[in-house]
Amino acid sequence: MQYSNQKRLLVAVDCIIFGFDGSEYKLLLIQRGFAPEKEKWSLMGGFVQETESLDEAANRILNQLTGLHDIYMEQIQAFSRPDRDPIERVLAIPYVALIDIEKYQRQINDNFHAHWFPLKSLPKLIFDHQEMVDLALNKLRYKAAFHPILFELLPDKFTLPQLQAMYEGLYETKIDKRNFTRKLLSTNLLKKEKEKDKSSSKKGAYYYSLDEGHYKDNFLSIHNFMPKSEIFFESN
Amino acid sequence: MQYSNQKRLLVAVDCIIFGFDGSEYKLLLIQRGFAPEKEKWSLMGGFVQETESLDEAANRILNQLTGLHDIYMEQIQAFSRPDRDPIERVLAIPYVALIDIEKYQRQINDNFHAHWFPLKSLPKLIFDHQEMVDLALNKLRYKAAFHPILFELLPDKFTLPQLQAMYEGLYETKIDKRNFTRKLLSTNLLKKEKEKDKSSSKKGAYYYSLDEGHYKDNFLSIHNFMPKSEIFFESN
DNA sequence: CCAAAAGTGTTATACTTACACCCATGC
DNA sequence: GCATGGGTGTAAGTATAACACTTTTGG
């Protein structure tokens, strides 16, 4: 049985994959392998198959590209301009993923010609992909101000200076390290490890890890790194 | 030209229409006019047409139901379970709308048998519509804590007690009226009118209206009406 | 021994919370 | 004149923001 006289559409999922390399944010892009816009830089995407949900499609596509599973992903809003794809109408549902760049070791999948680009200097993207990235970044800025999601970008053990650099990068602002440390530690989400990371200084910085026990019970208080006026009028 | 060998899907938009009657939140529902689930309570929905975007579809559908245009609407995330509609796979994109119940005066459109139900006592809804409503409400709670959107539910002139009742209803909490007043007035979004509303007390409460001049320049500071732990782990 | 990054405390200010009485009016 | 809901201020506690010096160690 079918609903009659209604137009059916192609539905695609596009993956916006953010990484952080310790000093700047990066976006994983591929060179599109088919027409139109063949060879142009693009988000990794694919059509939703008959028996999968959007979440499943997004995970399948991310896995094809990076070989990774169980990655933090979240749906961004649908893009629906009828003419957004010149070949045929395609409804696109972008997903954001946050991954630790180290975990993605240019796996088997060189066939996609994937490349990390600094967010500050992206190449021109096909269709409305740049819009998707902008929206996703905005949403990430908004959400990270209240939710402990940026940790997804770091390895299991990380240092406070790394964490601070991540927040500073996202909000393009300087944060006083004493205030930052105090606020993050006050959440009880962090557990201090015994070892130090000496890769970026002679003295070395203590490693921390997420304290899973507290992860569910506690919460970060509000980070005011983002100007309040932006919190208010931008984003979702 | 077309992309080959790909399944195309029906895409529907469903409208989650919230109202506030001065003491409780309501949801506008219709009795579905066609099979399956004919006569059951449902969100107002419709299929996306060939030449319209999702936003356009949502506005068209809302207008069909209520006769209203230029209403605040926002996309919620896509629902994509392959079997969510028993007839045929349909991807649903819900939209939330906030409307002033007074403005919707059971227009011409009685043909849809629309009815306002208190959110607390909704009938059983078809498919996954209850899930959509829950998600939308969550998102509204979250967003209203930082953005001045609840005003959309009120007429142009409203009183502080009305406004307070709206926040109290949304967060299911009591708020001290002195603190509430101070915080809202400190935003500079409100302009005091000369007239009073005497409909709910003998003394009468002053009307306020949104000060459009300040609407863009200023911002509300954060309302802590919602427990922080919820801000943290729920919603978008 | 010195350069470079990590770590740590205090004070002033702003914001949040808790709390209670008088006011205006219609009946 | 009294019952009902509207309006208003203050003080204590908590969170934020601004600020500079000492520690460690590899070279």
Residue from A88, A91, A218 to probe the interface with B (highest B Cβ count within 10 Å):
A91
Residues B139 and B162 occupy one common structural domain: no
pLDDT for A108: 57
Residues A100 and A171 occupy one common structural domain: no
- CB A139 to CB B52 under 8 A? no
Residues B49 and B138 occupy one common structural domain: yes
Chain A residues touching B146 at Cβ < 8 A: 231-232
Question: Does a structural domain hold residue A33?
Answer: yes
pLDDT for A109: 62
Residues B26 and B111 occupy one common structural domain: yes
C-alpha–C-alpha distance, residues A60 and B132, integer Å: 25
Least CB–CB distance from A147: residue in B52, B78, B232: B232
The pLDDT tens digits of the residues spanning B150-206 come to 999 999 999 999 999 999 999 888 999 999 999 899 888 899 999 999 999 999 999
The answer, yes or no, to whether residue B219 has pLDDT greater than 50, is no
User: Contact at 8 Å (CB) between B30 and B17?
Assistant: no
Residues B132 and B163 occupy one common structural domain: no
The answer, yes or no, to whether residue A112 has pLDDT greater than 90, is no
Q: How much is the average pLDDT of A67-84?
A: 96
- CB B236 to CB A52 under 8 A? no
Q: Is the CB of A165 under 7 A from strand C?
A: no
User: Contact at 8 Å (CB) between A16 and A76?
Assistant: yes
Question: Does a structural domain hold residue B2?
Answer: no
pLDDT band at B218; cut points 50, 70, 90: very low
- CA B181, B186, B190, B195 torsion-angle sign: positive
Question: Does a structural domain hold residue B4?
Answer: no
C-alpha–C-alpha distance, residues B183 and B185, integer Å: 6
The answer, yes or no, to whether residue B110 has pLDDT greater than 90, is no
Residues A45 and A161 occupy one common structural domain: no
pLDDT band at B107; cut points 50, 70, 90: low
pLDDT band at A220; cut points 50, 70, 90: very low
Q: Is the CB of B22 under 7 A from strand D?
A: no
Chain B residues touching A48 at Cβ < 8 A: 7, 9, 80, 91
Residues A156 and A215 occupy one common structural domain: yes
* Boundary (domain end) residue, out of A106, A121, A144: A144
CATH at residue B157: 1.10.10.10
Chain A residues touching B229 at Cβ < 8 A: 218-219
Residues A120 and A176 occupy one common structural domain: no
pLDDT for A214: 52
Question: What is the count of structural domains for chain A?
Answer: 2
Residues A81 and A180 occupy one common structural domain: no
pLDDT for B109: 62
Better-predicted residue by pLDDT, A222 or B94: B94
pLDDT for B123: 98
Range of the domain at A167: 150-233
Better-predicted residue by pLDDT, B232 or A31: A31
DSSP string, A170-194: HHT----HHHHHHHHHHTT-EEEEE
Average pLDDT, chain A: 88
Residues B91 and B203 occupy one common structural domain: no
pLDDT band at A147; cut points 50, 70, 90: confident
